Structures are given as structure tokens and as C-alpha cells.
Structure 1
Amino acid sequence: MGEAGAGEAGAGETGTGTGPRLFGWEFAADPYPAYAWLRENAPVHRAVLPSGVAAWLVTRYEDARRALADPRLSKDPRRHSPDAHELGRVGIPGERSANLFTHLLNIDPPDHTRLRRLVSKAFTPRRVAAFEPRVRELTARLVDGFASRGSADLIEEFAFPLPVYAICDLLGVPRADQEDFREWAGMMLHAQGRRGGVGRSVKRMRAYLGELIHRKRAEGAEGGERAGGGDLISGLIRASDHGEHLTEEEAAAMAFILLFAGFETTVNLIGNGMLALLRNPGELARLRAAVAADGDEAPLLVSGVEELLRYDGPVEVATWRFADEPLTLGGQAVERGEAVLVVLAAADRDPERFGGDADVLDLGRRDNPHLGYGHGIHYCLGAPLARLEGRLALGALLRRLPDVRLAVDEGDLRWRGGLIMRGLRSLPVEFAAEGVTQRQ
């Protein structure tokens, strides 16, 4: 079985008889000791996941970086098992039956190249930069809702609604419809591990997006580009490359994945990031002082967001890949059609890349080429927006809640189930109610 010496393991087992159990609740609370063991003893390790699907787990940084950019590893779930995809065991439950399959996380070149180029014409750095005032407005409004109360659940009241409302505004979802989107997003967030709940939300969202795209396309045809609006869905409809446009199905799939992938990563960046700061009071005080001096443009806040992405990032495992042909990965033979999962959380704490302090939170870390948003052609298109939201959100919380602290014991915190994302169910905090007067 190659240098790892680990055979195929049962669900939650390493297969060696001496290693840690995987995928249970204790593992979810703190997977990093298990990942350290795998990096050292079974760096490319075959395990049977709770879904029953077998996959190779890649845990070392250099192996992970190579795998993320390896063209022999396909993103198309049909290369593995169409039945498994249909049942929601790989990919997003319900996306295939809802005609939302053709998005960037599921396709390979040349289709990926064409779609990414078209989407990039609409999802530009200029559009994201112009969106900053709206994100500031949203963060201020949400903090206003609890700052005078002295307590809050930072997931439910802040980290969750902020990216949902932001991506809705960016996509061009009318304000009157955004509560529906919040409900659907909430069902997807809280139904992790329950495929039916996610699938139903996906179908409802698909029906709405189809209607919205049809309406915006008609508005653009009647009144030209100006009538089509400056939102992202209108931009997707208008985007063209050598006369080729996105089909309505492709536009719906792209709008869906921008919401689905965009909101939960930001929820987890804010939630995991605040918990990491609360667990590291020295770094919290350091960042609070920097924000007090330089606001949310503070260099330490910018580098701090990158370090939080590395230290306990929102995406634990990169989305599915499937071997197009037999290959060797980290000294391990991988057969054609087998699933490969790159464990970003393990790779980003690899001491071979990040040194002996890889398990230490250092907000000023200078050499930090983390893999939190991937690598290669599938690098996250929405990373600039997530970074913007994370920076403004953390800056607002530190500025307006200067003595924020956990309201429960750390052992009482619960993490959501699921393979890809890593995030808290809730984050109860307390603070001095007069913190509302700290707003600048």
C-alpha cells in the first residue's frame, strides 16, 4: 500500500489499529491531533467515510498542493459514480436533479476554462471593491441588533446573516425576497449530514433563481444593458466571450454555487476566527490594539485574516476529486475512478511547511501560503469577497465589543457535522452592554 502502510479503513477508523478515530464528535471538536498523526504515519490514507464512500485523504502540504493542481484529478463526480452523485453521497445533495450541476466545482477544462472566463467577466475585483460600503452597512446594522444587550450568539445573529444578505445584494436578489434566501441558506447550513433537507432547499432555490434570471434577462432585452442592472446575475447574463454566453442553466448553477459556497465559508471564517481569538487572549489583545489604532485597514487585521484561514479555516476538506487515470500521490498508488480528498486543515498545519509553530496562532505570520481557498485552476473565485467580509466583520466586532468573551465553557461548544466545511453551530458571547457606545 505504499509508504503510508495503511490499508482501507472502516468509517471512522485509521486502519492501523493504533491511530485515532476519524469523523466522530470528538474528532469534529478538534481534528488537528488526528491530522498530525496521519501526516506523520499515513499521509495519503484510504478511509471509508460516514457516507459509505471510500476516499484517499491527503494530509501533507506538498502532496496537497500538488493534488489541488493535478489535471489527472477530475472534479466531475460522474468520473467516480453517477449513482453516488445522484444520492448526494459526493457533491452537493440535489444539485444534479435540480439542474444545478454545471458550476465550477463540478467541471474540468475545457468547459471549466470557458465558464470561469465568462464568470470572471461579471465577478470582477472592481465589483467586489465597490461592494465594500454595503458590507460595512450590513455589519453595523447587525451589531446594532445586539450591542446594547450585552450578549449574543455570534453565529446566528451575525456571522450567518451577514454573508447571506451580502451575496443576495451582490447577486441582485430583491430585498423583499432575501428572507426566503436566508431561510433556504439556514436549512442548508443546519441540515449538514441530512441529505434530504439540503436537497429540498436546493430545489427551492433553483426554482427561484430560474425565475429571477428569466426576469432579468427580459429586462435587459427590453431596455439594454443599463436596464439589466449592475448586479452579478445581470452581469452573468451579459457576460460573453467571442460571442458565447452563459446558458440560463449555467447562469443559475453559477449563481447557486456563489451563494452556496460563498455564504458558509464566510460564516465559518468569522465564527472560527472569533473563537480562535477568544482562545488566544494575547493575539486578541494585539489585534484589538491594532484595530483601535488603524481601524479595519490595520495591516495586522489583513494578515490576521490570512492566519485565521490557515489556523482553523472554514473549509476543512477541499471538494471532491476523482482520478482520471492511475497515478501516484505521496508515494501511494491511486487507481482510476478512486476519490481523493485534500485535507486543507491538515496541510495548513504541516510543520514541514509552516515550521515548528504550525499549531500556534500568529496573526503577523509573514510566510503564509496557506491553502484555505485552494490552489490551481479551482482556486476560489469568491476569495476576495470572503476576505473583505471577514476583515470588516472582525474589525467591527473588536471595535464595538471591546471586552467580548465566551458565555459558555469551551467544552459546551458544538461543531456542525459534515465533511467539507468546518464551523460552529453557535458561538454565545458576553460583553459590556455599553459597548454600543464604542461605535466609530
Structure 2
Amino acid sequence: MDPYRLDLTGHDIHAEGALLRDRGPVTRVELPGGVVAWSVNRIDLLRRLLADPRVSKDARRHWAAWRDAEVPDDWPLHIWVSVENMFTAYGPDHRRLRSLVAKAFTPRRTDALRAGVQAIATDLLDALDAGPDLVDLRAGYANPLPIEVICRLIGVPDEARPGLRRAVDIFFDTTVTPELATANRFDVRRILEDLVAARRRDPRDDLTSELIAVRDEGDGRLTETELVDTLILFIAAGHETTVNLLDHAITALLTHPGQLALVRSGERGWRDVVEETLRWQAPVAHLPLRYAVEDLVVAGVPIRRGEAILASYAAASRDPGLHGPTADDFDLARADKEHLAFGHGAHYCLGAPLAHLEAEIALPALFERFPDAELAVPPGGLRPVRSFISNGHDSLPVRLRP
């Protein structure tokens, strides 16, 4: 069977997920530039694979096409596999890098961000309250809240934030040209190298200053490239998933008034909203890439050493093998809301507790401030972002008061 060419525009992620499942639990897909990978789209198989030490995220060591220079330097997804941070590390390197970052997301430090998140949400809601009734809630609420949180955590100055937001948008836009993707890689590194230089001159109480201190201790625990690339990871992963989570949770509740009524009555809680949204609309539909360290057989399909694997989270989280015939339904009363939105195993997202904190503050605050909000376009009129990686809306038009 020929590889299925993924829709780079992400026009209908869930229809495509169903098609992938129909082709088989493990099926070949074509990424930009003709790169071929194995899509794994069943939740039980994907969970096991994500925890399997025979599967790596280090392209330099374990992706044959990358080692053999078969992937061009201007490949649009280059930055997803070439950065040197815990996202692309394997074995001892991964444990080393993850241990350095983990202290930024301890339960105590995450909970200490609560008051700041509440203040950011209040400021954004005040601005919405003072403006027109018809607003884009993605641009006016779902997007700026997590980006403000992560920029404060890292210590990004105001003047650098627009450039970083644009860079992240380009990371996730899988329709961009190779030229734009390549230029964007250099742009984001320049912005973050400038940030590192500024924090070396003027250390502050932020994660960048902490990482610099680790780097400059000279104990070999962090290279300069790893420092900058870890900041890239924080910026990219630290807000896009939460933006999409908020976007889809708002959309789900506005288009499922019966489910919203369950929350307002107290029969279901905001944690139910967050978990079911993560299952129903995985914020990252497909995550590049992993690689077979040795020959594997998955669901009877041989995956050869050095071949690439694509974690198809959106398809897996709607797996009817686990969630039955209602897998495509948004149902807060669902007994089992299992999903893989934050990954699994050694690479489980360290920022998951922060994403939960942000969503469980931002969502009730929005619906308390604007209890009669309604979607301003038919649900079918919402356009997806141009990406097979990111699963969100290009905009979210909402009328705050009927």
C-alpha cells in the first residue's frame, strides 16, 4: 500500500484520523518533502510504543534518513527534529536534560503561578468587557493567556514577544515554504540568543537565568546550544497546546449547551471539561518524530531499524476500540476519558500540570464573566489552523452578549 499523503492544511483532522485507522493501526504516511513515516493511530499500541526504550527521539543517532543526509537542510519540519533539547534526546541525554528542566515544573512552583494566571485572565476579561460584543476569543483570550504565562516564566521582554509568537505560528504551520521555515529557524535562535545575552548581563528570577547559571557552572551539564534549544521548547510547547485546549473547550461548551448545563449545575466539573476536551480534540494531532532503535513488529507490521514513526494523537484519542461508538462525541459524563494529549512514558509533558492550571482558571472565569456568550458563526464556519500538527481554529468568533 502506498503511503497516505497527509493533508498539510489540516482541513479535517478527524476525518483523516478515521481514514488512517481504516488503513490499519500502523500505516505509512507521507510528510512534507516526500518524507515517509509510520503513523501509529491506536491508543493501546501508541501508549506502549511511547514507553518502549527501543523507540528514540534522537534523529542524529537513530533516524537513518537524517544520518544519511537524505533529508534536506531546508525541510519544513527541520526544527522539529534538529533541536538539541529534551524533546529530541534519548537515554542518558534525555534524563540529564529533563532533570534540569523538571525543577521549573515542580508542584510547588506550578501552584505558585496560580495568582499570576488569575490576574492575567482577569486583565484579559476586563479588556474584552470594555470592547465590542463580537470578539475573536482565540486572539483575545485563548492565545494571549498562555503566551503571557510562559513569557513571564522564561523572562521574555515585551519587545521580543511579537517575534516569538510569529516564530511559533510558523513552526506549527505545515504549509509554509522551505525558505520561510529555514529563515524562521534562524530568526527564533537570534531572538533567544539575544535573551540569553541579556540575562547573562542582568540575571533575574526566571527560568532563563536559572538555565544560564547551570550552563555557566562549567560542569558539562548543559551546552550553549542545548540552553537556547530548551528555551525554544518552552516557547513552542509551553503555549500552543494550551491555546488549542482553551480554544476547543470554549467551542465545545458553546456548541453543546447540554454539556455546559452539567457544569453549571455542578454535576460535572471543570476538570471533566479539560480531560474530555483533550481526548475529543487533541491539541497536537500528529507529533513528529520518533525512530526505531532496532527492528520492531507493531500489530504485525515490521518497522525497520532507523525508520521514522509519527505519533497520531488525534486519531488515537478517538479510538473506537477504547471509547466505543461514541468516540467522536463530546461527553463530559464519559466514564473513561483516556487520551494521550500530553504523551506518555519518558517524554510525558512536564508542562501538563501548568496547562491544567491555566485551563481550570481561564475557563470558569470566562463563562462566569460572560454567561450568555454564543458562537457568532455556525460551527461549520470555523476554519482550522493550517497544520497537520496543531489542532485549533484560525479564529473563534464569539458574541459575548446575545
* TM-score using structure 1 length: 0.82
SS in structure 1 of the partner of residue 318 of structure 2: coil
The superposition leaves residues 136-168 of structure 1 with CA deviations (integer Å, 9 ceiling, x where unpaired) of: 111111222222421111111221222222111
Unmatched runs of 5 consecutive residues or more in structure 2: none
Q: What's the C-alpha RMSD, in Å, of the aligned pairs?
A: 2.6
Q: Which residue of 1 aligns with 2:74?
A: 87
Q: Which residue of 2 aligns with 1:409?
A: 378
Tell me, yes or no, if structure 1 residue 231 matches structure 2 residue 206. Answer: yes
Q: Which residue of 2 aligns with 1:4?
A: none
Q: Which residue of 1 aligns with 2:137?
A: 154
Q: Which residue of 2 aligns with 1:142?
A: 124
Q: Output the amino acid matched with 1:87.
A: D
- 2 CA distance for matches of 1:277 and 1:214? 44
Shift of 1:385: 1.4
Tell me, yes or no, if structure 1 residue 275 matches structure 2 residue 248. Answer: no
Shift of 1:91: 4.4
- 2 CA distance for matches of 1:382 and 1:399? 26
- Write the mapping of 1:8-407 to structure 2, written as runs, cut at 5 A: 8-12=2-6, 23=7, 28-78=10-60, 79-82=63-66, 83=69, 84=71, 86-92=73-79, 96=82, 101-148=83-130, 149-188=132-171, 193-219=176-202, 228-239=203-214, 244-290=220-266, 300-407=269-376
Shift of 1:369: 2.9
Unmatched runs of 5 consecutive residues or more in structure 1: 1-6, 13-22, 220-227, 291-297, 434-440
- 2 CA distance for matches of 1:369 and 1:408? 31
SS in structure 1 of the partner of residue 269 of structure 2: helix
Shift of 1:103: 1.1
The superposition leaves residues 79-114 of structure 1 with CA deviations (integer Å, 9 ceiling, x where unpaired) of: 243342632344426x84xxxx21112111111111
Whether the 8 Å contact between 2:13 and 2:388 is mirrored in structure 1 is no
Q: How many residues align?
A: 395
Shift of 1:187: 5.0
- 2 CA distance for matches of 1:199 and 1:37? 32
Whether the 8 Å contact between 1:123 and 1:232 is mirrored in structure 2 is no
Q: Output the amino acid matched with 2:95.
A: T
Shift of 1:183: 4.4
Higher relative contact order (CA 8 A, sep 6+): 2
Shift of 1:259: 0.5
Q: Alpha carbons of 1:361 and 1:229: their partners in 2 closer, same or farther (altered >3 Å)? A: same
Whether the 8 Å contact between 1:164 and 1:185 is mirrored in structure 2 is no
Q: Output the amino acid matched with 2:339.
A: H
Q: Output the amino acid matched with 1:8.
A: D
SS in structure 1 of the partner of residue 309 of structure 2: strand
Q: After superposing the two structures, state which structure 1 stretch, 316-325 or 243-252, moved more.
A: 243-252
The superposition leaves residues 337-374 of structure 1 with CA deviations (integer Å, 9 ceiling, x where unpaired) of: 22111211111112222334322222244433311100
Shift of 1:196: 3.5
Q: Output the amino acid matched with 2:114.
A: E
SS in structure 1 of the partner of residue 291 of structure 2: strand
Q: Kindly, what percent of the aligned residue pairs are identical?
A: 39
SS in structure 1 of the partner of residue 297 of structure 2: strand
Whether the 8 Å contact between 1:165 and 1:182 is mirrored in structure 2 is no
Q: After superposing the two structures, state which structure 1 stretch, 157-166 or 82-91, moved more.
A: 82-91
Q: After superposing the two structures, state which structure 1 stretch, 400-409 or 184-193, moved more.
A: 184-193
Q: Alpha carbons of 1:107 and 1:249: their partners in 2 closer, same or farther (altered >3 Å)? A: same
Whether the 8 Å contact between 1:11 and 1:48 is mirrored in structure 2 is yes
Q: Which residue of 2 aligns with 1:225?
A: none
- 2 CA distance for matches of 1:180 and 1:33? 34
SS in structure 1 of the partner of residue 208 of structure 2: helix
SS in structure 2 of the partner of residue 414 of structure 1: coil
Q: Alpha carbons of 1:378 and 1:242: their partners in 2 closer, same or farther (altered >3 Å)? A: farther
Q: Output the amino acid matched with 1:423.
A: G
SS in structure 2 of the partner of residue 369 of structure 1: coil
Shift of 1:216: 2.4
SS in structure 2 of the partner of residue 55 of structure 1: strand
Q: Alpha carbons of 1:160 and 1:384: their partners in 2 closer, same or farther (altered >3 Å)? A: same
Whether the 8 Å contact between 1:323 and 1:336 is mirrored in structure 2 is yes
Q: Output the amino acid matched with 1:334.
A: I
* TM-score using structure 2 length: 0.89
Whether the 8 Å contact between 1:119 and 1:239 is mirrored in structure 2 is no
